[in-house]
Amino acid sequence: MERQRRVRSDVVSAGPPGDDISPELDRLIRQRGRDLRLRKVDQQNAVKIVNHLIESLLEFLKNNEDQPFFRNVSVLTSGSYYEMVKINKPNEFDIMLKLKVPRIEMSELEEYQGLFYNLKLVRATREEVRHFVLEDERTISASKIRDEMHRLVRKFISSHFKGKGWVICRKLINSPAVTLEFNNKEKEDDMMSVDIVPTLEVPQGWPQAARAGPNINNWLGKKCRRQLVSKAVYFVPKRPKGRNLKDDAKESWRISFSHIEKEMMQYHGNKKTCCESTSNKCCRKRCLQLLKCLIEGLKQRYPKELEPLCSYHGKTAFFHVLSDRVRDSLWSPGQLSVSFMNLFGYFERRVLDGSLPHFFVCHHNLFSPPAFPKKALAFLTNALKEQRELGLPVLKVPSPSATLVPDTDVTDIHPNPINGTDRIVAYEGSFWHVYIGLVVVIVCVGIRWVFQK
């Protein structure tokens, strides 16, 4: 409770008040918010391609004879597109394939504060899941299921979509997903990706580490919280980051609340009618989109330094702010700039403190190493400070004519401006030099004319 009170006080004090937002920054935030909307025609084309892929994959898995365990999978959509907070283009989709298992035991890996677990069958079984257990005949192997998912998808693509634009990306050791990329032959720069994640559905209740969260009583209500906590919990085959992992960590599963997050995004208002009509719209999702845009822009500028940073950090901060700024009137469309700067201020404070509690597993700090090294956190602290002081330049859309004009912001900036000491300085003396030169030329011509007379 003490930790929750401290976090809530940070939310209240975070971010500048509305009077401190300059007219230029207000216009930038509003314009960028409008630009982030997805075009309906792009959505329709992308969804048509993705739905055809997933329907074909489900049919393939249902009829495959060499792996019965995957025959009865069902789809759970998740991620930013299905939460309606995707920005720029509908080019990334997350598809969870639910696999049902008998009753299991969840053993928390204590060094990861409630986020990673070993999953064991209560007793040995003769069901199809037995092909994916370790030598003890009870521990479900994350690596075996992940490898089998890759094998089945490779077989599916080669037999159903060979030469039709879909390719399988290289397997990443810390990723639970099979990533497919679609290259549009008509538009070479129009690429789309789909993450297919095998997921274990565990209906017997949330683990102890997640019982205290989420903190939504004042925001969505106690009744809504009881309904969410009563839902099944899911686990994806993702191992922790870091080297020299123990054997149990290599076969661990990460708990997932994607289905809960999507539902909270859908029913996001303190009043149940929020955003159901044009008369009671709010700017909550637009604020998250702007924060996602800022995070994405920083990662594009500093890919190596900010490699651990991802949109989920922004999403977690967003949920914490929603749980404190609960009244719908605080999120009216006219309050977009104030609401976003409150969210930005809270996120900056969390980075400065090096503490971002997981929204559902509050004892887990998403900014703790090795998942988020201290060096990257220090770099992010300076990056956010610089963005705030310069008026969030990362949100600005580059001018189409930028390549025709020398960029003084680039040529006059220190190679490493993020250290907080060097600043971008525009060269303002060039016009005076031109003016003085013209005056000198005119005077010289006048003197010459006088002497000639």
Domain ranges of the chain: 1-35+268-396, 37-267, 398-452
d(Cα 86, Cα 50) in Å, to the nearest integer?
Answer: 16
Whether the bond between 240 and the residue before it is cis, its omega within 30 degrees of 0, is: no
Q: Please give the single-letter amino acid code of residue 183.
A: N
Report whether pLDDT(453) > 60: no
CA–CA gap between residue 291 and residue 314 (Å, rounded): 6
- In the chain, helix, strand, coil percent, each to 5? 50, 15, 40
Q: How many CB atoms lie within 10 A of CB 105?
A: 13
For 266, the token pair is 């859908």
Handedness of CA 222, 9, 321, 109 (dihedral sign): negative
Q: In degrees to the nearest 10, what's the CA dihedral of 139, 145, 148, 150?
A: -150
Bridge-partner residues for 229, per DSSP? none
Q: Give the residue among 75, 71, 112 at the shortest CA–CA distance from 255.
A: 112
User: What is the DSSP pairing of strand 233-236 with strand 116-121?
Assistant: unpaired
CA–CA gap between residue 421 and residue 27 (Å, rounded): 28
The pLDDT value given to residue 443: 61
CATH classification code of 1-35+268-396:
1.10.1410.40
Q: What's this model's pTM, rounded to 2 decimal places? A: 0.82
Q: Tell me, what DSSP letter sits at residue 405?
A: S
Mean pLDDT is lowest, of 43-52, 165-174, 187-196, for 187-196
Q: Would you say 310 and 317 are in contact if contact means Cβ atoms under 8 Å apart?
A: no
The answer to whether residue 380 scores a pLDDT higher than 60 is: yes
Window from 124-133, 193-202, 285-294 with minimum mean pLDDT: 124-133
Please write the tens of the pLDDT for every residue from 318-368. Answer: 999 999 999 999 999 999 999 999 999 999 999 999 999 999 999 999 999
Q: Say what the pLDDT of residue 223 is.
A: 92
Q: Which of the four pLDDT bands, split at 50, 70 and 90, describes residue 11?
A: very low
Identify the burial level of 424 via C-beta atoms within 10 angstroms of its C-beta, where 0-12 means exposed, 13-18 middle and 19 or more buried: middle
By CB atoms closer than 10 A (0-12, 13-18, 19+), residue 247 is exposed
Amino acid found at 330: L
Residue 255 has a pLDDT of 96
- The sign one gets for the Cα dihedral 75, 322, 36, 334 is positive
Fold of domain 37-267:
Beta Polymerase; domain 2 (3.30.460)
What does DSSP say about strands 104-108 and 233-236: parallel, antiparallel, or unpaired? unpaired
User: Is the bond into 198 cis (omega within 30 degrees of 0)?
Assistant: no
Q: What are 397-447's pLDDT values in tens digits?
A: 764 433 333 333 333 333 333 433 333 233 334 344 444 556 565 666 666
pLDDT band at 183 (very low <50, low <70, confident <90, very high): confident
Q: What is the pLDDT of residue 276?
A: 81
Mean pLDDT of 172-187: 86
